Structure 1
């Protein structure tokens, strides 16, 4: 029986998660099929009811706009996901061998993905931190900045009335937060030690043009989680101004490794080989994860 896993989101056609996961399972010799499935927030409860009735499922990767909504669809939430109420990973834990269904357990591997990607890029401890966007990935970015020892985070959003996930994340991890309009973010972006853009593709272009007009040199690190198209406009402008840029593909790789662990029990020497083939699958440089 071929087992199943998938990435869920809307839209989902651009996702590189299938390439990453399929490479990992091929390397492991796991009979685990992984696909991309377009699911809206409204359709999620019905989809998850169907998943519960199918014993072949082993894992779900969860992307925009489902990360907060998924919290209502699982049986347990663990780790930092419990604090944030934001889930990007669902693992299916087998119950007793009495025919009972698997338990659905929610995790958040985005935080580890952000932390590891920034550490590899040499981000400093206790940074002056700026986050662009206020949704589920921004919540993970705020938790990551807490791990880095930031005293506070400035979050810039298109609508200051719609940053509930960012506000809840800051309260959950005990971090001071400012929520500010995205227009006018350029000076703070230029001055920050760490900038994390969690905006959809091209949504940060306005900030990029503002930064280009601002004309200041930068000395920080930008992680742009949007990886298609690449380089993004904000990545190009930030790099041209002297900053270091981490492509979103790096974060995707780091968080996907953790998902593969949850879905298969991956550990030990096999992990290094799996990481190598995942990097190769998306044309990324091999990393010491």
Structure 2
């Protein structure tokens, strides 16, 4: 019996539809820029453990281009991971969506019903689960969380803070109007959570129970910033460490941990499982994914 030959991690990104190789199904991470993404290392490590020869590519698609590319895709696509600036487009493209994708207005995962090019897509948001898992069971009952930034990841961060039990979330952004818009849109949907918006230039962590930095490249550091011992999750991971992570006094959770945890949930969905249905021997799969992530940084 011949041993299964698994696809290699692709080098760089492609700007047109990735070719169909010998793999039984195709997957990719979509975004712009995307060449830095570590998603192929993570996902392919999981599929090797699961014993499936699926391909996983980096597919660079600029803003506004998702629908055209996916409507004209070829045979063999199982699903796609989605990052900036395409998460809202992914949700709009899908025929159905999970509650978190609808709540946040963003999808980082599309799962196609079959491998046929005309198969409908289901949208999911695994970023929220990834953030919650990255904090390792941190409880925030009665506390408040500071979210830095007001983009798509910030919306997921607010939803994650609500899931962890935060009573108040303060959203700080370079454009206070963007923070105010996020708070106005999401606030009525989160019962029991008070959302406040403010200018990033005024941010001090004060008594925050946790801080989530979603700013691309990381939040800049002012000379008067008083870092606390609250845990800090930085969504950024390239380059690492961020300026804020370098000066932070408490525990720092790198963006790679969020990336890993949300990818585990994506693998569940891509392999036909429910979002909360563990993979077989999931702890071993997570360990292999972590090793692949560590090796990619060396």
TM-score scaled by structure 2? 0.83
Q: Tell me if the contact between 2:64 and 2:89 (Cα under 8 Å) persists in the aligned partners.
A: no
What are the equivalent positions in structure 2 for 1:1-289 lying under 5 Å apart? Answer: 2=23, 3-51=25-73, 54-94=74-114, 101-120=118-137, 122=138, 124-163=140-179, 164-165=181-182, 167-174=184-191, 175-185=193-203, 187=204, 189-202=205-218, 204-205=219-220, 208=221, 210=222, 212-214=223-225, 216=226, 218-238=228-248, 242-265=249-272, 267-283=278-294
CA shift in 2, pair 1:217/1:56, >3 Å = closer
Post-superposition Cα deviations, 1:231-259, rounded to whole Å, max 9, x if no partner, equal 11101111xxx311111111111000000
TM-score scaled by structure 1? 0.86
Post-superposition Cα deviations, 1:145-189, rounded to whole Å, max 9, x if no partner, equal 11122122110111122344454233322332111111121x2x2
For structure 2, the residue ranges without an aligned partner over 5 or more in a row are 1-21
Q: Tell me if the contact between 2:75 and 2:117 (Cα under 8 Å) persists in the aligned partners.
A: no
- 60-69 or 268-277: bigger deviation: 268-277
Equivalent residue of 1:191, what SS? Answer: coil
> CA offset at residue 101 of structure 1?
3.5
Post-superposition Cα deviations, 1:173-226, rounded to whole Å, max 9, x if no partner, equal 2332111111121x2x24311100111014x12xx2x2x534x45121110000
> CA offset at residue 123 of structure 1?
5.3
CA shift in 2, pair 1:48/1:102, >3 Å = same
For structure 1, the residue ranges without an aligned partner over 5 or more in a row are 285-289
CA shift in 2, pair 1:168/1:217, >3 Å = closer
Post-superposition Cα deviations, 1:6-65, rounded to whole Å, max 9, x if no partner, equal 1111111111111101111122221210011111122122112123xx331111111111
- Give the corresponding residue for 1:287: none
Q: For the residues of structure 1 that align with 2:30 and 2:215, how far apart are their CA atoms? A: 18
CA shift in 2, pair 1:101/1:45, >3 Å = closer
Equivalent residue of 2:178, what SS? Answer: coil
Higher helix share: 1
